[in-house]
Amino acid sequence: MLNSVGYIDAGTGSYLLAAIASGAAGSWFFLRSQVAKLRGRGKGTAVTDQAPEPTPTES
């Protein structure tokens, strides 16, 4: 009975490997975004470039 509990077939192994890899990648990007927010480079603190005001022309 104990031997059959430790068996993982190929489909289940691939699923578990994909879940672990995507969790690690997601955690990395989450940590990177939090560090960027702490340093002031996050999306909420970005300064957007605005077009300059048009200068009036004399006719």
* Per-residue model confidence as pLDDT tens for the chain (59 residues): 555 667 788 898 899 999 999 999 999 999 999 998 888 875 654 455 666 677 777 65
**Total-model pTM:** 0.51
Q: CA-CA distance, 20 to 12, in Å (whole number)?
A: 12
Cα–Cα distance for residue pair 12/19, rounded to 1 Å: 10
